[in-house]
Chain A
Amino acid sequence: MTRHSLNRMTPYMFIAPAALVMILALFYPIAYMVWGSFRDWDPSQSLSETEFVGLANYIKLLGDAAFHESFRVTLVFAFTVVSVEMVLGVGLALLLDRNIRGMSVLRTLFILPMMIAPVVVGLVWRYMFHATYGTFNRFLESIGLPRVDWLGQNPLLSVIIADTWQWTPFIFILSLAALQSLPRSALEAARIDGATAWQQIWFIKLPLMMPVLIVTMLLRLIDAFKVLEVILVLTGGGPGLSTEILALRIARTAREFRELGEAAAMSNYLLMLLMLLTLGMFAFTRWQDARAQRLRPAAEEEE
Chain B
Amino acid sequence: MPEIRLERLVKRYGDVEVLHGIDLQLADNEFTVLVGPSGCGKSTTLRMIAGLEDVSEGEIWVDGRPVSHLEPKDRDLAMVFQDYALYPHMNVAQNISFALRLARRSRAEIDAKVREVAEMVGLTDFLHRKPGALSGGQRQRVATARALAKDSAIFLFDEPLSNLDAKLRGQMRAELALMSQSVQKNMIYVTHDQIEAMTLADRIVVMHGGYIQQQGTPRDLFERPVNKFVAGFLGMPPMNFLAGDIEVVGDDVFVAGAAFRIRLSDARAAAARKHSSRAVTLGIRPSDLKYDPDAEAGSALKLNVEVSEYVGAQSVLLCRCGPERATVELSSETPMALGATLTFAVNPDRVHLFNRGTEVAL
Contacts and interface: CB of A to CB of B under 8 A. Distances in A.
A186 B52 contact: no
Interface of A is mostly: helix
A19 B89 CA distance: 42
A185 B85 contact: yes
A288 B268 CA distance: 68
Interface string B63-79: 00000000111000111
Contacts of B71: 191
A193 B98 CA distance: 7
A37 to B, nearest CB: 45
A203 B102 CA distance: 10
Interface string B98-121: 110011000000000000000000
A183 B85 contact: yes
Contact of B85 (A186, A302, A303): A186
Contacts of A188: 50, 52, 72, 79, 81, 85
B172 to A, nearest CB: 13
Nearest to A188: B52
Contact of A191 (B52, B87, B138): B52
A298 interface: yes
B132 to A, nearest CB: 4
Contact of B132 (A193, A199, A208, A292): A292
19 contacts: A183-B85, A183-B88, A185-B81, A186-B88, A188-B50, A188-B72, A190-B98, A192-B50, A193-B99, A193-B102, A193-B150, A195-B73, A195-B98, A196-B73, A203-B98, A204-B87, A207-B89, A300-B135, A302-B135
B87 A189 contact: yes
Contacts of A204: 87
A295 interface: yes
Interface string A224-253: 000000000000000000000000000000
Those 10 A-B pairs whose CB atoms lie nearest each other, nearest first: A185-B85, A193-B99, A189-B85, A194-B73, A303-B135, A295-B133, A295-B132, A191-B72, A207-B89, A192-B72
B133 A192 contact: no
Nearest to A183: B85
Contacts of B78: 192
A6 interface: no
A144 to B, nearest CB: 44
Interface string A193-222: 111100100011001101000000000000
Contacts of A191: 51-52, 71-73
A105 interface: no
Contacts of A25: none
B102 A195 contact: yes
Interface of B: 50-52, 71-73, 77-79, 81-89, 98-99, 102-103, 130, 132-138, 146, 150
A296 interface: yes
A190 B94 CA distance: 12
Nearest to B135: A303
Interface residues of A, number: 26
Contacts, number: 79
Given A188-B50, A192-B77, A299-B135, 4 more contacts: A190-B87, A194-B103, A292-B132, A302-B135
Interface string A30-70: 00000000000000000000000000000000000000000
Nearest to B130: A295
A189 B136 contact: no
Contact of B133 (A190, A208, A210, A299): A299
A199 B150 CA distance: 17
Nearest to A189: B85
Contacts of B72: 188, 191-192
A208 B85 CA distance: 13
Contacts of B135: 299-300, 302-303
B79 A189 contact: yes
Interface in A125-181: none
Most buried by B among A183, A185, A189, A298: A189
A119 to B, nearest CB: 42
Nearest to B150: A193
Given A188-B81, A295-B132, A299-B132, A194 B99 contact: yes
B157 to A, nearest CB: 12
Contacts of A295: 130, 132-133
A49 to B, nearest CB: 60
Nearest to B50: A192
Interface string A285-303: 0000000100110111011
Contacts of B99: 193-194
A210 B89 CA distance: 10
B102 A194 contact: yes
Nearest to B79: A192
A302 B138 contact: yes
A199 B103 CA distance: 12
Contacts of B86: 186, 189
Contacts of A190: 87, 98
A270 B253 CA distance: 98
B121 to A, nearest CB: 15
B132 A296 contact: yes
Nearest to A206: B89
Contacts of A207: 89
Nearest to B165: A303
B133 A185 contact: no
A165 to B, nearest CB: 33
B58 to A, nearest CB: 21
Nearest to A298: B133
Given A194-B73, A199-B102, A303-B137, A186 B132 contact: no
